[in-house]
Homo-oligomer: A and B are copies of this chain.
């Protein structure tokens, strides 16, 4: 038994990069690899629930909460976003061409037992609480990510 491992630090919260991350992650898991995705900083926005969850926040955390997108459907793209227009164009064309959506990719990742981990330090920085993130994920610090990465040959930072 010598199972290969893939890890990804998902730092970016851009729709296009999120799609790329999940396509690589689900592809790797489909090959039989053990896959860990570690969501830090803006990457946490991919895991946010769509609706506001009533939690106690200080003023700065409330501001971050308002400014940051809530989940896959609200993300912008890294280029040509133009106030969300680029993201709409990309979603429109991907739908027309029957390409899998980010929401579907996240579900597929969960079916494939990909370990999705929210970085607790980043949650602290951005004032994001567990209740605000989707179910079925884990919570840990960088040491947990590094323990996986140390045993993996395929490690990416997105």
Contact = CB atoms under 8 A, between A and B. Distances in A.
A61 B93 contact: yes
A96 B146 CA distance: 27
Q: How many copies of this chain sit in the oligomeric assembly?
A: 3
A146 B79 contact: no
Nearest to A7: B154
A23 B142 contact: yes
Interface stretch (A11-19, A46-54, A110-118, A130-138): A11-19
A23 to B, nearest CB: 5
Given A93-B127, A124-B97, A150-B4, A156 B31 contact: no
A31 B67 contact: no
Interface string A79-103: 1100000000110111011010000
Interface of A: 4, 6, 8-9, 11, 13, 16-17, 20, 23-24, 27-28, 31, 33, 40-42, 60-61, 63-64, 67, 78-80, 89-90, 92-94, 96-97, 99, 121, 124-125, 127, 142-143, 145-147, 149-150, 152-158
